[in-house]
Amino acid sequence: DIGMTQSPDSLAVSLGERATINCKSSQSVLLSSNNKNYLTWYQQKPGQPPKLLIYWASTRESGVPDRFSGSGSGTDFTLTISSLQAEDVAVYYCQQYYSTPYTFGQGTKLEIK
């Protein structure tokens, strides 16, 4: 199984400031035949299912604000929120879909400082 580790576990950022969440996979999730990273990011608010934000490590889902961006390749990935808004308070998860069993990071709880 591919292990997914996020850091930090929790993060407090001031409104309007940048938030950065890291995700590391235990093996590469880059498929060389198509040069795509099989890595996605979700946002989860209390009482709701996870919501898709980013796929292929850096492709923003339709409707997701452009303050959210994803980067990285191979085993190291980052989700960046360029200017934190109050509605961004949530838990964020990375997930690999390179191979089954699909696996998730443990989550990063993002709060307002």
In angstroms, give the least distance from the CB of 29 to another protein.
11
Chain residues in the site for another protein (CB under 8 A): 38, 40, 42, 48-50, 52, 55, 61, 93, 95, 97, 100-104, 106-107
Of residues 50 and 84, the one with the C-beta less far from another protein: 50
Q: 10 Å Cβ neighbour count for 109?
A: 15
Of residues 19 and 95, the one with the C-beta less far from another protein: 95
DSSP per-residue codes, 10-44? EEEE-TTS-EEEEEEESS--EETTTTEE-EEEEEE
Of residues 16 and 47, the one with the C-beta less far from another protein: 47
In angstroms, give the least distance from the CB of 98 to another protein.
9
The pair of structure tokens assigned to 57 is 């490590």
Taken in order 66, 25, 92, 95, the sign of the CA dihedral is positive
